[in-house]
């Protein structure tokens, strides 16, 4: 029999008060429900998440602008989390390069327990603030980097330690949590607090459910919003995508065909002449420019196609 770890009465008392650790009265009969009833119960709970996020849109908007400014100054967005929250940060970071053409180092995810924790829970890795501090040291975090803590409870020691260290270093900080601000540790200060109180989970304490959904939605808003503000889209189409596979090459051609109103062959020609850079190819097609002229026009307008086009008329 495995040796039982000593109890932590203080942590027990803290956890039992958190909203995400309460029993949900709407799903108490889920163990007796048929598959359709289970699906309905979970769906009803998930529908509450967007309404909770709506209350934080002004704070999320401020966070988008803060991240955009940090990235423009050459900083990185560093997600720090444990368990499900940590995996969500890694997922969002991993999706930025193919979607927006960013350097893989520009948005990064750190998870308690390291790479192995992405696939398999690493027991105890999240329990020490020092582990969060060490993770930042290994990444050589410094201003203008921005550190975003992800913790459903808002109290995960690994995350708290990383945020405290970030404050000490002078980095901007964000905390995304799914309990209300009044349930957080009074000793933790951040520049942007995004608290989405989702209430009790469909299964008590299972923060991979509504809490994870809320965090994923918020992270989508932060990185997508920051990238839009950096000229990574034309209208509502991503035009800084990396052509890392055949699907993305064909998507790029379709984008060029759609906006420049050219056929498939011409789109491929523009893409080749641009060096595989979709924004440059679009400027070439839309404004009848060569590659150097298109690149200069984009550089002069911080990569914004619309602004560059306005200057051509």
DSSP, residue by residue, 277-304: -HHHHHHHHHHT--HHHHHHHHHTTTT-
DSSP, residue by residue, 240-252: S----SHHHHHHH
What is the token pair recorded at 20?
């995400």
Element (H, E) at 307: helix 305-310
The question of whether 95 is a catalytic residue gets the answer yes
Q: From edge to edge, which strands make up the β-sheet containing 77-81?
A: 107-111, 77-81, 146-150, 172-177, 192-195
For the chain, the distance separating the N- and C-terminal CA atoms, rounded to the nearest angstrom, is 77
What is the token pair recorded at 220?
């989508």
Question: Which residue among 126, 165, 201, 295 is the active-site one?
Answer: 126
- Could you tell me whether strands 233-234 and 237-238 are parallel, antiparallel, or unpaired per DSSP bridges? antiparallel
Q: How far is it, in rounded angstroms, from Cα 243 to Cα 62? A: 31
Residue 129 near residue 160, CB atoms below 8 Å: yes
Question: Which residue among 21, 95, 134, 250 is the active-site one?
Answer: 95
The question of whether 13 is a catalytic residue gets the answer no
Q: Catalytic site residues?
A: 95, 126
């Amino acid at each position: 029999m495995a040796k039982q770890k000593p109890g932590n009465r203080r942590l027990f008392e803290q956890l039992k008060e958190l909203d995400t650790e309460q029993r949900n009265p709407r799903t108490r009969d889920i163990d007796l429900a048929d598959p359709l009833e289970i699906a309905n119960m979970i769906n009803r709970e998930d529908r509450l998440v967007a309404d909770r996020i709506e209350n934080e849109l002004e704070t999320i908007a401020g966070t988008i602008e803060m991240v955009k400014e940090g990235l423009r100054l050459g900083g990185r967005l560093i997600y720090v989390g444990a368990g499900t929250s940590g995996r969500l940060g890694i997922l969002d970071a991993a999706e930025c390069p193919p979607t927006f053409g960013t350097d893989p180092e520009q948005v990064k995810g750190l998870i308690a327990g390291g790479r192995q924790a992405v696939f398999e829970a690493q027991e105890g890795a999240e329990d020490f603030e020092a582990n969060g501090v060490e993770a930042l040291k290994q990444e050589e975090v410094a201003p203008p980097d921005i550190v975003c803590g992800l913790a459903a409870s808002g109290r995960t020691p690994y995350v708290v330690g990383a945020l405290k260290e970030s404050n000490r270093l002078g980095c901007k900080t964000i905390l995304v949590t799914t309990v209300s601000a009044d349930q957080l540790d009074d000793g933790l200060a951040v520049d942007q607090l995004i608290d989405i109180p989702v209430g009790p989970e469909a299964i008590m304490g299972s923060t991979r459910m509504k809490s994870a959904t809320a965090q994923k939605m918020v992270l989508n808003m932060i990185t997508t919003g920051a990238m839009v503000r950096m000229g990574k889209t034309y209208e509502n189409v991503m035009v800084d995508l990396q052509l890392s596979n055949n699907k993305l090459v064909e998507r790029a051609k379709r984008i060029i065909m759609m906006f420049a109103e050219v056929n498939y062959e011409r789109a491929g020609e523009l893409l080749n002449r641009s060096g595989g850079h979709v924004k440059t190819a679009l400027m070439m097609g839309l404004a009848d420019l060569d590659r150097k002229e298109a690149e200069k026009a984009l550089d002069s307008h911080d990569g914004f196609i619309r602004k560059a086009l306005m200057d051509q008329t």
